[in-house]
Structure 1
Amino acid sequence: METPVELKYSEQHVWVRVENGRAVIGVTDFAQEEFGDIVYAELPELNDELQAGEPFGSVESIKSVTELYAPVSGTVVQINRALLDNPGIINLSPYERGWMAIVELAAPEQLNELWDAQRYNDSYGHE
Structure 2
Amino acid sequence: MTTRLMDSVESSYNIDNNRIYGTGQSMGCMTVMLLAAEHPDLFTAEMFVDGQWDVNKLASLAGQKFFYFAAEGDDKAYAGQTDLLPVLQKDGAKVSTATWDATWSADQFTSAVKSELAKETVFIS
Please confirm whether the aligned pair reaches a TM-score higher than 0.5, indicating the same fold: no
Structure with more contact order per residue of length (Cα contacts < 8 Å, sep ≥ 6) = 1
Give the structure-2-normalised TM-score: 0.23
